[in-house]
């Protein structure tokens, strides 16, 4: 079983993912926002790659059960109901809602992997659940780090390295690519103190400067939920256990 890690989504074309099991990671913060929304009963999230598409789609979906969520430059977009802080996606706001979701990198990374046979969303908060799910995978695994504006993000690669390392504990048949080996090594050093690593990361500093320090703490926690969001057609839903 091959396991590869893409440090940015731009490393591959959409069709590269056909027939593969993919995992999208955007630790700061789209992964955690999606996981939290689904954990709090959102019906689905519809990832989009532009704000215009978000607005157009939401107009065509019916009324009160559809809301708009996401960010531009870390902040809620004008006219949107919610931003991209996991704290905003509480049960009272999202239960049974369809959420049209745009973020700078995360929603686009999900769309990049849309042709995958299976696509799951992972953060530190649902790590063990995703590891266990990948333990059952029979197709090659591609971990897509969302990165930032086409560049490398430390927090995504450390999380990917942890996922690859934990999976190797339950699967003897993993064949790591060079990037997977590098990410596993990075996790062993930079992953020793996840909160510190997030605080010192480029995007972590931007989030702190914009008043989102609490989000870093939230995103640093390990295994606080067993919820796995997955892409079904064009929408992200709750993967229910078999």
Residue ranges binding ligand MLT (CB under 6 A): 26, 28-30, 71, 74, 84, 103-106, 146, 207
| Cβ nearer to ligand MLT, comparing 3 with 144 | 144
| Cβ nearer to ligand MLT, comparing 69 with 165 | 69
- CA–CA gap between residue 240 and residue 242 (Å, rounded): 7
Smallest distance, ligand MLT to C-beta of residue 121, A: 12
CA dihedral 46, 101, 132, 1 (to 10 degrees): 70
| Cβ nearer to ligand MLT, comparing 72 with 171 | 72
Smallest distance, ligand MLT to C-beta of residue 85, A: 8
- Relative orientation angle of helices 213-220 and 202-209, to the nearest 10 degrees: 140
| Cβ nearer to ligand MLT, comparing 1 with 206 | 206
Alpha helices (H) in 40-152, listed in sequence order:
51-60, 91-94, 106-112, 127-134
Smallest distance, ligand MLT to C-beta of residue 188, A: 25
| Cβ nearer to ligand MLT, comparing 26 with 142 | 26
- CA–CA gap between residue 43 and residue 53 (Å, rounded): 20
CB 110 within 8 A of CB 100: no
Smallest distance, ligand MLT to C-beta of residue 79, A: 17
Smallest distance, ligand MLT to C-beta of residue 213, A: 12
Q: Scan for tokens 């934990």, then name that residue.
A: 166
């Amino acid at each position: 079983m091959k396991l590869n890690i893409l440090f940015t989504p731009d490393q591959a074309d959409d069709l590269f993912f056909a027939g593969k099991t993919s995992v999208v990671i955007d630790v700061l913060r789209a992964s955690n926002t999606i996981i939290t929304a689904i954990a709090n009963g959102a019906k689905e999230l519809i990832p989009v790659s532009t704000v215009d598409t978000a607005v157009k789609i939401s107009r065509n979906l019916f009324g009160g059960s559809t809301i708009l969520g996401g960010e531009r430059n870390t902040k809620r977009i004008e006219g949107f109901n919610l931003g991209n802080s996991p704290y905003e996606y509480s049960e009272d706001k999202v239960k049974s809602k369809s959420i049209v979701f745009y973020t700078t990198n995360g929603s686009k990374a999900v769309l990049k992997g849309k042709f995958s046979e299976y696509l799951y969303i992972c953060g530190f908060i649902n790590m063990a659940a995703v590891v266990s799910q990948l333990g059952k995978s029979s197709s090659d695994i591609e971990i897509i780090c969302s990165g930032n504006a086409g560049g490398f993000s430390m927090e995504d690669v450390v999380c990917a390295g942890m996922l690859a390392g934990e999976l190797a504990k339950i699967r003897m048949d993993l064949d790591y690519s060079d990037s997977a080996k590098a990410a596993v090594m990075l996790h062993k050093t930079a992953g020793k103190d996840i909160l510190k690593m997030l605080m010192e990361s480029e995007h972590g500093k931007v989030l702190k400067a914009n008043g989102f320090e609490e989000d870093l703490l939230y995103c640093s926690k390990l295994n606080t939920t067993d919820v796995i969001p997955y892409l079904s057609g064009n929408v992200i839903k709750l993967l229910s256990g078999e």
